[in-house]
Amino acid sequence: MSTLSPPLKKNDAESFLKELIDSCKENGFSQLRKTGTENFLKAGLPGRKEEAYKYAPLTSVLNNLGTGKPQSAASPGDALTYLFKDFASGNALSVFLLNGTIIKVPENLPKGLSIVPLEETSPYAKNTGRLSTASSDPLCQLNNSIFSSGLVIHIAKGSSIEKPIVVFNLISSDSPALISSRLLIVAEENTRAGIIEFSDTLRQNHKILSNEVQETFVGKNATLFHYRWQTDCEMGNRINHQLSEIGEKGVYDTMNITTGGTFIRNNLSLFLNGENIEAHLNGFFVGSKNRHVDTRTVVDHLMPRCESFQLYKGIAADKSTGVFNGKIFVRRDAQKTNAYQSSKNMLLGDEATVNAKPELEIYADDVKCSHGSSTGKLNEDALFYLRSRGLGIETARTLLLHAFAGEVFEKIRHEEFKELIIEKIRHIVGGLNTSHAG
Amino acid sequence: MAKSDQILDEHIASEYKYGWFDPIEMDTAPKGLSEDIVRFISAKKNEPAWLLEWRLKAYRHWLTMEEPRHWAHISYPPVNFQDIIYYAAPKKKEGVKSFDEVDPELLKTFEKLGISLEEQKRLVGMESNIAVDAVIDSVSVKTTFKETLAEKGIIFCSFSEAVHEHPELVKKYLGSVVPHTDNFYAALNSAVFSDGSFCYIPKGVRCPMELSTYFRINSAGTGQFERTLIIADEGSYVSYLEGCTAPQRDENQLHAAVVEIVAHKNGEVKYSTVQNWYPGDKDGKGGVYNFVTKRGICLEENAKISWTQVETGSAITWKYPSVILKGDNSVGEFYSVAVTNNMQQADTGTKMIHIGKNTRSTIVSKGISAGKSNNSYRGLVRISRGAKNARNFSQCDSLLMGDKCGAHTFPYIEIKDKSGIVEHEATTSKIGEDQIFYCNQRGIETEKAVALIVNGYCKEVLNQLPMEFAVEARKLLAVSLEGSVG
């Protein structure tokens, strides 16, 4: 395993990645890799002048990364004893991934559900790259080029999977590394299923960047929820490209909760490619220390009579930064569209920053679209009200922050997960440094 | 000799001088842009050395810059900067003899806007006795107007005049809000600006009337690279109007103006614009590219700058009137109505940069798109670190008429202070069929109903305009949207 000297400039970072592309001669998906490599080298690493990466300090994230392939420092055993093991037992179908590679899949999968490694020869893999090759994001193209592992979750036509599929997406390496993995989710016609993903970079003392692509296809009349909670350690950085295509009368519900990591970017692209689709995109982040949480959503209304709802909230404490960049496209044909987007943030730290860019791009006239964005501090009056009723300042503050977060979690369709997240978030916001004069 | 006669004589004499004594004097620069052209313009205007230096600095910087073609939501063929005449002395247009020679479309529009016959003649450049009278009228208006202002110590003159008569003020403030390095078109304007308006309101003076470029006859024909500088000293107030509701047929394709406003302690400037440049024909042929940099700074405490704009013209509008809220407790406002029809493209909005404590800003933007046009709001609200208790409220609404147009919103919100409160909301919708039906039912035909609804929709902004302006703006909205329904 070789570790390069840190690439400080954009040019250095590019040559570093070029080397990585050359060193990666994996088998399979040669066409996808070829296109990815070409597109990536053509675009180069996005700089700050690139609109999509305006607020993202990408070059610093790519500093100090080795070119070596990740090694499994943590044994599957470590992973199994992980924090959420009690959640994973009994009522869920738990899948364990280490750096994108399957380490454990439940033995008796219900009928219609297949969970297999992503291989070109697999009959389930035929949609791989359909959305990601068209992506304009150079880092998504980089994944197309050098991804080393992947997982397919396939739900066969007409199947209804009662238990949630819980994916433990763990990242670990014994040296600095860039890890590229993929997830392909196919929910065929008339299916119902839910995925809960715990994304985590296990505690270590060198920097790791996981650049992952998730492609989701929701078929006609299918309902799928996919919730993700990112709890990466301080050395963990994650760029997630979540690309989804929904078919006629499909329902897709997704949520990203970020409470860990140093640089986290969630790139969501949703293509509403049928009529009468219902899409829900929600997110919540807690920023502390130097954490940078960057969410970018693109909801593309291609067909008439679809609805999309977005609610993104965040709390930025200490020196953290929260970025929300949401875009709603309503194409010429997408008449009778209803699209809503809301982004609300709370600043707690003196050196915290929130940047928001909620965009609308609308080409059809018979539509109802709106967006709202607000950023502010804890409501002094509410705080006073609670204190006047005998609550301590800490308790009152935690209560308010928790209530602020609660609006997002109310939308979770899985009771057990909802309870878990509400409880954990109470703990997390309670521990925030509010540096409040109050 | 009566004063007006004297002025008339002077006026005629000056024309005479121009056309008779020195017929070979070059009053137009050759096509293209170079350091020589910049020197030529400066020499032509008899400018002091420091201003020439300033122009050259801007020109040299402009050479290093790239035309901003990609970030805005507009598309147009590249501008050939060497194919533009950068200086043409204001001269009398080839007049038309009677209304028969005037484009009947234009006359119809005049009629709808309710512009008086005299005014129509002035606008089409008709030579007649009445037109001369109109000039006399304007000159005398200008003079009486100037006297009243002078009594109060207000300076209101052309930019060239200010350079010669008040160099200390121009030197102090020129480029202090929009530096020559600011952006591509601001740099270009700094290098080649032809003329413009200069306005200074001294301490504690409330300007008794609305100042308008409309009164200044000499501003006609110098519009291409205009430069406006407005300074409101401590505790002063001025309301400034720019533009004209009448359609301007202008052969200049590219307009790159710069407006700078400085408001001192307790000073207030209200700047209203009605922009109705030629938008091109139905297929998007011709039309003006309006690439304007407008910015004000609230330099000290309690200053206030308010922008109101009604944008209906131009093939392409690229314009972001901004306020830098530097002084504590200062206030910035932006009220905008932007209408695009046929093939027009507009990318317009504002920037509110909060630096001082307790600063407040309000943004109300109403976009209306019809035909095959694209209308974008693009705005920035930035709360800098240390801007305690800053407050912003933004509202950006879009109205779509027809299924071939586009309405877009690109707000940028950057907050670095936890005590700041920023709210932004935007909606996009079309005119409700039930609303139109309601009007139809009461005997109001559809086209009028649309005008009525649109006016209601824009009311919040139109109410900010000075009275006469608001009345004309209402009519203008109706005319701009003609033929976009049904």
Q: Closest residue of A to B425, CA-based?
A: A372
- The pLDDT of residue A206: 85
Residue A235 DSSP code:
T
Per DSSP (E only), the strands in B123-267 are 155-158, 197-201, 211-212, 227-232, 237-243, 254-255, 258-263
Q: CB B407 to CB A360 under 8 A?
A: yes
- The pLDDT of residue B353: 96
- The pLDDT of residue A341: 94
Q: Between A379 and A69, where is the model more confident?
A: A379
CA–centroid distance for B398 within its chain: 22
Closest by CA to A106, choosing from A114, A89, A94, is A94
Give the closest of A361, A366, A368 to B408, CB-based: A361
Q: CB B403 to CB A366 under 8 A?
A: yes
Retrieve residue B226's tokens: 């205009």
Give the closest of B71, B417, B421 to A51, CB-based: B71
What mean pLDDT comes out for the span A244-257? 97
Q: CB B413 to CB A357 under 8 A?
A: yes
State how far the Cα of A142 lies from the Cα of A62, in Å rounded to an integer. 13
Q: Closest residue of A to B411, CA-based?
A: A357
Give the closest of A358, A359, A362 to B406, CB-based: A362
| Number of CB atoms found within 10 A of residue A6's CB | 15
* A324–chain B nearest CA distance, Å: 9
* B405–chain A nearest CA distance, Å: 6
* A139–chain B nearest CA distance, Å: 21
Partners of B405 on chain A (C-beta within 8 Å) are: 363, 365
Q: Between B31 and A55, where is the model more confident?
A: A55
State how far the Cα of A373 lies from the Cα of A254, in Å rounded to an integer. 20
Residues A385-427 pLDDT 10s? 999 999 999 999 999 999 999 999 999 999 989 999 999 999 9
Q: CB B430 to CB A365 under 8 A?
A: yes
State how far the Cα of B296 lies from the Cα of A54, in Å rounded to an integer. 25
Q: CB B424 to CB A376 under 8 A?
A: no
* B152–chain A nearest CA distance, Å: 44
Give the closest of B407, B412, B415 to A362, CB-based: B407
Q: CB A376 to CB B412 under 8 A?
A: no
* B375–chain A nearest CA distance, Å: 10
Partners of A375 on chain B (C-beta within 8 Å) are: 413, 415, 420-422
Q: CB A374 to CB B427 under 8 A?
A: no
Retrieve residue B312's tokens: 């209906």
Q: CB B408 to CB A364 under 8 A?
A: no
Q: CB B423 to CB A372 under 8 A?
A: yes
ipTM (interface predicted TM): 0.83
Q: CB B411 to CB A375 under 8 A?
A: no
State how far the Cα of B180 lies from the Cα of A18, in Å rounded to an integer. 40
State how far the Cα of B94 lies from the Cα of B125, in Å rounded to an integer. 8
Query: Which amino acid, residue B59?
Result: Y
What mean pLDDT comes out for the span A345-358? 92
* B230–chain A nearest CA distance, Å: 32
Q: How many Cα atoms are found within 13 Å in the side-chain-facing hemisphere of B129?
A: 0
CA–centroid distance for A160 within its chain: 25
Per DSSP (E only), the strands in B312-373 are 316-319, 322-325, 331-340, 345-348, 351-354, 360-369
* A225–chain B nearest CA distance, Å: 28
Interface-testing mutation among B417, B418, B422, B436, with chain A (most A C-beta atoms within 10 A): B418
Q: CB A347 to CB B418 under 8 A?
A: yes
Residue B30 DSSP code:
P
Chains A, B: CB contacts within 8 A come to 116
Partners of B423 on chain A (C-beta within 8 Å) are: 372-374
- The pLDDT of residue B194: 80
Q: Are strands B391-400 and B360-369 parallel, antiparallel or unpaired?
A: parallel
Partners of B425 on chain A (C-beta within 8 Å) are: 370-373
Residues B324-376 pLDDT 10s? 999 999 999 999 999 998 889 999 999 999 999 999 999 999 999 988 899 99
Q: CB B408 to CB A362 under 8 A?
A: yes
What SS3 string covers A364-395? CCCCEEEEEEEEECCCHHHHHHHHHCCCCHHH
pTM of the model: 0.84
* B147–chain A nearest CA distance, Å: 50
Give the closest of B415, B416, B428 to A360, CB-based: B428
| Number of CB atoms found within 10 A of residue A241's CB | 26
State how far the Cα of B297 lies from the Cα of B326, in Å rounded to an integer. 7
Residues A277-328 pLDDT 10s? 999 999 999 999 999 999 999 999 999 999 999 999 999 999 999 999 999 9
pLDDT digit of tens for each residue in chain B (486 aa)?
Answer: 455 555 444 443 333 232 233 333 446 777 788 898 899 889 888 899 999 999 999 999 999 998 887 788 888 888 888 877 777 665 444 445 565 665 666 566 656 655 555 555 555 554 433 322 333 333 444 555 777 788 899 998 888 889 999 999 999 999 999 998 999 999 999 999 887 889 999 999 998 888 876 543 333 444 478 889 999 999 999 999 886 555 555 555 788 889 999 999 999 999 998 888 778 777 777 778 888 999 999 999 999 999 999 998 888 899 999 999 999 999 999 999 999 988 899 999 999 999 999 999 999 999 999 888 999 999 999 999 999 999 999 999 999 888 888 999 999 999 999 999 999 988 888 888 888 999 999 999 988 888 888 888 898 888 888 876 787 788 888 777 776 664
The overall average pLDDT reported for chain A is 87
Give the closest of A349, A366, A377 to B430, CB-based: A366
Beta bridge partners of A279: A252, A308
First CA to last CA across chain B, in angstroms?
60
| CB contact at 8 A, B420 and B387 | yes
Is A90 buried (19+), middle (13-18) or exposed (0-12) by CB count in 10 A? Answer: exposed
| CB contact at 8 A, B228 and B273 | no
| Number of CB atoms found within 10 A of residue A87's CB | 19
State how far the Cα of A244 lies from the Cα of A281, in Å rounded to an integer. 11
Q: Closest residue of B to A374, CA-based?
A: B423
Partners of B424 on chain A (C-beta within 8 Å) are: 356, 358, 371-374
The values of phi and psi at residue A378, to 5°, are -65, 140
Residues A185-199 as b or e (16 or more Cβ within 10 Å = b) = bbbbbebbbbbbbbb
- The pLDDT of residue B476: 80
Interface-testing mutation among A292, A347, A351, with chain B (most B C-beta atoms within 10 A): A347
| E strand or H helix at A141 | helix A138-146
State how far the Cα of B390 lies from the Cα of B383, in Å rounded to an integer. 7
* B337–chain A nearest CA distance, Å: 18
| CB contact at 8 A, A300 and A271 | yes
* B393–chain A nearest CA distance, Å: 9
Partners of A367 on chain B (C-beta within 8 Å) are: 400, 428-430
State how far the Cα of A360 lies from the Cα of A374, in Å rounded to an integer. 16
Q: CB A352 to CB B418 under 8 A?
A: yes
Beta bridge partners of A298: A269, A327
Closest by CA to B258, choosing from B335, B311, B321, is B321
Q: CB A362 to CB B398 under 8 A?
A: yes
Retrieve residue B409's tokens: 């919103």
